[in-house]
Structure 1
Amino acid sequence: MSKSFGNQLPQDDINIKNLNDLQILLVDDDADTLILMTAVLEDYSVQVRTATSASEALEVIRHFELDFLIIDIAMPEEDGYSLICKVRALEDTQKRKIPAIALTALDTEEARQFAFQCGFQNYLTKPFDSGDLVTQITKFLVESTW
């Protein structure tokens, strides 16, 4: 992961979306990962909420307006696949449609396909470059018809 938190996005053909005040929920059982991802996203003026478990994440999703989810797959008790399935089954149509990136150290085609089947829009493997994370969020927001 990049140690630089500067607003340096990789040079792409995409129009960089202004991320100011975007509401993102980060879900990961690893505190260091949450701290690092929060620092990266806050550097782009993103409003970040965090959760360390699927049950905690569902409570945050139910009580707050969110624009995006970033969910670790491998968590104890309940994994990210199960969490995104629960999100996609929520009664609230807006909350059910919150876009999500799966975050995992497992880089297999089967895991990737399963993530998409469960309801994730993208898949990012650990360790990841902070610029890649921001670029994936931006690309989705710019290109989304979700």
Structure 2
Amino acid sequence: VRDALRRTLGAVWTRAGELDQRTAAIAERVVRSVFSPAARAISRAARDVWRVLDGACSVVWNRVHNVGCDVWMVVEGACDVVWNRVVLPVTVRVYRRVLVPVATGGWRAAVQAAKATHSACTAGARAARGLARSLWRCA
């Protein structure tokens, strides 16, 4: 009885395994036949949407870029006008009326100040060297 029961259960178990394999194969075929075309269709649709969005973004970017270039040219022209008509003439006037007289008259004073600074630095350096020698001798 025990052997017959084992054989019967073994046969049932083997048959269940075969059915399980067949079921898996059938399920795989169903998935391939149903979902693969759907996946391909979704992928194609996504590519098409991407192409449309990419094209739209390119068009928008080109328009914005062109407008930006136009605005830049207007600003650049305005800056040239301001530079040539305002900044440059004012700078030349200030240079001729203020800087040239100050530079020619103040040059002598600047040279004298530089000489005095040099003399003071030289005297300070001599004093520091003398102090260092004194300290060295004491040590």
Superposition TM-score tier, normalisation by shorter sequence: under 0.3
TM-score (norm 1): 0.13
More helix by share: 2
**Structure showing the higher strand proportion among its residues:** 1
Instruction: Give the number of the structure with larger relative contact order, counting CA–CA contacts within 8 Å between residues 6 or more apart.
Output: 1
